[in-house]
Amino acid sequence: MVLEFTKMHGLGNDFIIIDNLQDKKLDWSKLAKKLCQRNTGIGGDGLVLVSPSDKGDYKMVIYNSDGSLAQMCGNAIRCFGKYLYEKGYTDKTNLVIDTDAGVKQLYLKINEGLVETVKVDMGPPIFQPELIPVNTTNSDNNIKIQVAQQELNITAISMGNPHAVIFVDQVEDFPVKEIGPLIENHPLFPQKTNVEFVQLKEDGTLVMRVWERGVGETQACGTGACAAFVASVLKGKVKNQGEVHLLGGVLKITFDGERVFKEGPAAFVFEGKVKIEEWL
Ligand SMILES: N[C@H](CCC[C@H](N)C(=O)O)C(=O)O
């Protein structure tokens, strides 16, 4: 069986997209793990399936590069919207996309027939510990932990997927690759967590690096940027509209006190085909 795939990225967070509208029951987790390998596979932070849905125009299913299923992906859903419009799946510029973190509204900004940016209604941030999930009784989800001889203050927030937001003085040379996995796999987080390291610069800019659950350090994380922005607003560090600067670029984020909106670009990289029998 030969499957066509499309490689895309959102600020360097890159994905393999496969049309699975026929709802093929393959071992997608195993395929994600193999196809995402950068030396022996196509390479990517995740595998995204275009799936049928009775709750929206389409459903986005996202597997991390370790084969784990994730509820939502903020960068991938922008790629998903661009993919659907420019490959002729739809001529609508306002899309309703179903995900395992609920239905998301997408607003495509078109320039000369191409999707220039995508604005996503990411929905409300989730603070209830049992819904993140995080093992804490702290009412404000601020948790102090000791890892690798460092005391860190974590703010736990879900954007449909779990995030541990940590403010640091200097993010550029922070040991993300050492500390990230210790928090990703910490017993505080029964479903593991994405980890955001955030610095508030003197000019009021938020700069962030991210260790993603099931992936490792990535160039950008859309849900993570939203979680970091919400934590920054709630701590009075920034106003309710601003930018988060990531290794891969800038995301514009608004938190109106109830819902989070994120806007950014998406890009095609290449197309290809894989003979499934060689990968399973
Ligand atoms: N690693 C994440 C999924 C991808 C999220 C990220 N790539 C984004 O843009 O939101 C998780 O396991 O929750």
**5/83 Cα distance (integer angstroms):** 11
For residue 205, the model assigns a pLDDT of 87
Contacts of 28 (CB under 8 A, 6+ apart): 20, 47, 49, 61, 63
Q: Mean pLDDT over all residues of the chain?
A: 97
User: Does 185 count as an annotated binding residue?
Assistant: no
* Domains assigned to the chain: 2-124+265-278 (3.10.310.10), 142-258 (3.10.310.10)
- For the segment 157-166, what is each residue's pLDDT rounded down to a tens digit? 999 999 999 9
pLDDT of residue 141 exceeding 90: no
ipTM computed for the complex: 0.96
Comparing C-alpha atoms, which of 219, 204, 215 is closest to residue 264?
Answer: 219
User: Does 213 count as an annotated binding residue?
Assistant: yes
The position carrying tokens 């937001």 is 165
User: pLDDT confidence of 88, banded at 50, 70, 90?
Assistant: very high
Ligand 1 atom closest to the Cα of residue 226 is 10
Ligand 1 atom closest to the Cα of residue 68 is 12
pLDDT of residue 140 exceeding 90: no
For residue 279, the model assigns a pLDDT of 87
Contacts of 203 (CB under 8 A, 6+ apart): none
State which of 73, 163, 219, 262 you would mutate to test the pocket of ligand 1, scoring each by most atoms of that ligand within 8 A of its C-beta. Answer: 73
Ligand 1 atom closest to the Cα of residue 161 is 13
pLDDT of residue 200 exceeding 90: yes
Mean pLDDT of 174-199: 98
- In this prediction the pTM is 0.97
User: pLDDT confidence of 154, banded at 50, 70, 90?
Assistant: very high
Mean pLDDT of 10-24: 98
Measured in Å, residue 66 CA sits from the centre of ligand 1 at 12
Pocket of ligand 1 (CB under 6 A): 13, 64, 70, 73-75, 161, 194, 212-215, 221-224
Strands (E), 24-113: 46-51, 58-64, 69-70, 94-99, 102-111
**Positions marked active-site:** 73, 221
User: pLDDT confidence of 233, banded at 50, 70, 90?
Assistant: very high
